[in-house]
C-alpha cells in the first residue's frame, strides 16, 4: 500500500458509489414504467428490447453522473475517446 493515494481512492469510490446508486434508481424507475405500460412479460423480443434499453439508459446515466461529479477517470476516457474519433476523422 506504499504510495497509494488514500484520499483520491476514497473520493473515487464515493463518486462511483453515488453514480451507481443514481443509475440503479433510474433503471428501477424505467423498469416500473415498462411494467406499468404493460410491456413486461410480452415475449422474448420485448424482453430483449427492455434489457437493451435498461443497459443503454444505465450506461448513459452513470457516465453523465460521473462526469457531473467530476470523476477524473470518466473525463480521461471521454477525452481519449473523442480525441481518437477526431484523429480518425482527420485521417479519412
Domain positions in the chain are: 6-91
12-43 residue pLDDT tens: 999 999 999 999 999 999 999 999 999 988 99
Which residues, including other chains, have CB under 8 Å from residue 42's CB and lie 6 or more apart? none
Q: What is the pLDDT of residue 84?
A: 74
In tens, the pLDDT along 43-76 reads 999 999 999 999 999 999 999 999 999 998 888 9
Of 51, 46, 56, 49, the residue nearest 23 (C-alpha): 56
Q: What is the pTM of this model?
A: 0.81
From residue 81, alpha-carbon distances to 1, 13, 38, 78, 87 in Å are 31, 23, 38, 5, 10
- Alpha-carbon span 49 to 54, nearest angstrom: 9
Amino acid at each position: 500500500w506504499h504510495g497509494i493515494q488514500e484520499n483520491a481512492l476514497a473520493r473515487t469510490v464515493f463518486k462511483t458509489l453515488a453514480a451507481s446508486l443514481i443509475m440503479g434508481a433510474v433503471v428501477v424507475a424505467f423498469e416500473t414504467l415498462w411494467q406499468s405500460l404493460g410491456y413486461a412479460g410480452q415475449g422474448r423480443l420485448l424482453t430483449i428490447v427492455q434489457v437493451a434499453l435498461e443497459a443503454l439508459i444505465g450506461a448513459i446515466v452513470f457516465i453523465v453522473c460521473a462526469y457531473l461529479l467530476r470523476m477524473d477517470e470518466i473525463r480521461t476516457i471521454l477525452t481519449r475517446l473523442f480525441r481518437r474519433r477526431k484523429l480518425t476523422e482527420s485521417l479519412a
